[in-house]
A and B are shown apart, each in its own frame.
Chain A
Amino acid sequence: MVIDMNGLFALAGNQNSGKTTLFNRLTGSNQHVGNFPGVTVEKKDGQIKGLKGVTLVDLPGIYSLSPYTSEEVVTRDFILKEHPTGIINIVDATNIERNLYLTLQLMELDLPMVIALNMMDEVRASGNSIDVQKLSQMLGVPIVPISAGKNEGIGDLTLAVKELMAAQPPRAKLDFCTGEVHRAIHSIAHIIEDKAKAAGYPLRFAATKMVEGDAPTMKALQIDENEEHIIEHIVEEMEEHLHTDREAALADMRYSYIENICADCVVKYQETHEQVRSEKIDRLLTHKYLGIPIFFAIMLVIFWLTFSVIGQPLQDLLKDMLGFATVQFSGLLQEVGVSEWLRSLIIDGACVGISSVLSFLPVIVLLFFFLSLLEDSGYMARVAFVMDKLLRKIGLSGRSFVPMLIGFGCSVPAIMATRTLSSERDRKMTIVLTPFMSCSAKLPIYGMITMAFFPDYGGFVMFGLYVLGIIVAILSGLLLKGTLFRGEPVPFVMELPSYRIPSGKSVLLHMWEKAKDFIRKAFTIIFLAAIVIWFLQNFDLHLNPVSDATKSILASIGSVIAPVFIPLGFNDWRASTALITGITAKETVVSTLSVLTGSSTDAQLAASLQQIFTPLSAISFLAFTILYMPCVAAFAATKRELGSLRGALLTALYQTGAAYLVATLVFQVGSIWFH
């Protein structure tokens, strides 16, 4: 039966508590689920199934309501400003002590609340038990035991939400503060009562925040100097009596209360099977000597499967199919008598552009298939644990390692993968640095140049290029850490969740989400870029169509820009034009150079290249290629993840600037060296 009523519920809980899984169960909507701390960056909403008109908002996973991380601020602001009808608090029953810490803070918000006690199946299977009824009584909050993963208890939870809306809900018991803290909270509540009411703040929450010295709440309540003085005095007195400071006193008060409750309601003979299993798995995966080799082996297998075994055939197949469709479509357009230039625009501009980007789709989907396996299983948190020390040196944390590694495959999914980073600062920095990891699309360029200049040292040159990219990334990290991204890095205090077998549905959802993202991009920004490039390639400066590529606007721009590269050792319009077309996709550097030099064989191309470059300027050309701004697809991803065009442009400018500087250095230092 579908009930028609209006309501807005907030779903709040710790990270790794199964919150997003529960959200999907309750709403049936498509949303990504992850087993990595902090997957939900933005809040998402959906309609609760069976309760028409009741919206559920999935808030970021948080451990507390303090105003320190952006996730905590988002959650606080939502609850305090949007005035939801009620809260669904998801609690991981296998980790109940720490989860209830947030519950106690949510209770202070004085909103109708129901606790969804998740993973009860794991608790029971281990022979442990929780007296749900007693716990509910002690907290004064209705509790529904569920297992979101196994879809158990979801109907009961929906029913509980309905009851919460229908009846006068029971008030949560707020008598968990004792002694000196109790005295302080109540004295302050008395003082600020009117102001809290005026500001629309729950009194108990506001009073607790006063004790904590919470600046945003002080400001919202417009506490004057006199009141602040009195409050400070009360808190100082409390600190003096307790021989501790305000923050520790409150955390201690909450945890002590939870310990007492758990002593009464929770019977825990042993760790759950999942916890025991996790410890065993970690003996290998985070092993002192084997941990790092195993991680690289896993990544190697993923790359191998993605880029060669499965990905390559799929990519080729898709390319063939799209090529076939394009030819058919072209024939159709000719038949119906569409003018030649329009046909060229549609086929050579739009279709070819989109096909070249869409051919990346299999690789991206595959990579995200493996990534969501790593993420949902809980392994990604271990990678962060193992790699943290290395990345800390450049001002990042271990969590940035995986996106950077994916960058060696393709910058697009790498930039998209930064979504898993919980710190805004780390995220931005990772997005800027990732494209320095040489992506696989640049391989044909390296192949072309080494074939022409260093046929015997191919491997050595390639290795050097990868190392160059990494070195520039490290230097950039050090530079950015000291300038643009100064300020405290978010402390690396991270939970290692128990390993869990990823659900097929969740992995598929994740893949679908990323594929959708990418396809949308292919048909918007990349579509536009393809048409612009087509136009530049097919018209001359008088806007007359050209048949000879050397007379196009693009070639003219290439000629104008060419002298810019004199410090890098090459001054040829074909090289600069190739670098411009390389922005659409890096492989096109090769095809552009072939077309513009009129080479049809590798030998011809090599001969032409030897006229354009010297061995040294070929190296500086390569250095520029590996470092300068990534392709439009990656640029679009950067814009989307940074949420600003300006940021994306600045990033591209920085990358291109770094490329120019490094390539100039390579050529100039090289010139002196070999002189």
Chain B
Amino acid sequence: MTLDQVKPGYAAILSVIGGEGALRRHLLDMGLTPNTRVTVRKVAPMGDPIELFLRGYVLTLRREDAAKIEVVQVEKA
């Protein structure tokens, strides 16, 4: 499963960070590293981007980028 498929109100553990180049590096730098627990908080009014909560702060990400991140152990936050 990928991060963009996680519904708002659910949390998941990141397993593989895909993508490449600047994007991937930026995702890692922002703390989206394997084994990090991320909560999907909400979806923007037009359905994209999505709002995440991780490491004590709020981050927004486009769906197409979130689709490059694989997750495991999805559960209600």
Contacts and interface: CB of A to CB of B under 8 A. Distances in A.
Interface residues of A, number: 44
A495 interface: yes
Nearest to B53: A279
A252 B44 contact: no
A239 interface: no
Interface in A273-295: 275, 278-279, 282, 286-289, 291-292
Contacts of A390: 46
Nearest to B36: A255
A13 to B, nearest CB: 14
Contact of B34 (A96, A244, A389, A488): A244
Interface residues of B, number: 35
Given A255-B31, A493-B30, A385 B25 contact: no
A638 to B, nearest CB: 28
Contact of A494 (B21, B34, B36, B59): B59
B61 A252 contact: no
Contacts of A443: none
A564 B35 CA distance: 66
B18 to A, nearest CB: 10
A488 B21 CA distance: 11
B70 interface: no
A386 B60 contact: no
Interface string A252-280: 10010000000000001001000100110
Contacts of A268: 56
Contact of B56 (A96, A389, A491): A96
A63 B59 CA distance: 13
Interface string A60-81: 0001101011000000000000
Nearest to B25: A66
A237 interface: no
B7 interface: no
A353 B44 CA distance: 46
Contacts of A66: 25-26, 29
A490 B26 CA distance: 10
A15 B36 CA distance: 22
A97 B31 contact: yes
A97 B62 CA distance: 23
A64 B27 CA distance: 11
A288 B45 contact: yes
A171 B76 CA distance: 45
Contacts of B56: 94-98, 268, 271, 275
Given A286-B44, A286-B51, A496-B59, A64 B29 contact: yes
Interface of A: 63-64, 66, 68-69, 94-98, 101, 244, 247-248, 251-252, 255, 268, 271, 275, 278-279, 282, 286-289, 291-292, 385-386, 388-390, 392, 488, 490-497
Interface of B: 17, 21-31, 33-36, 41-49, 51, 55-62, 65
Given A389-B44, A389-B48, 16 more contacts: A66-B26, A68-B26, A69-B22, A94-B56, A95-B57, A97-B56, A98-B57, A247-B24, A252-B34, A279-B41, A286-B42, A288-B45, A392-B62, A492-B62, A493-B23, A496-B60
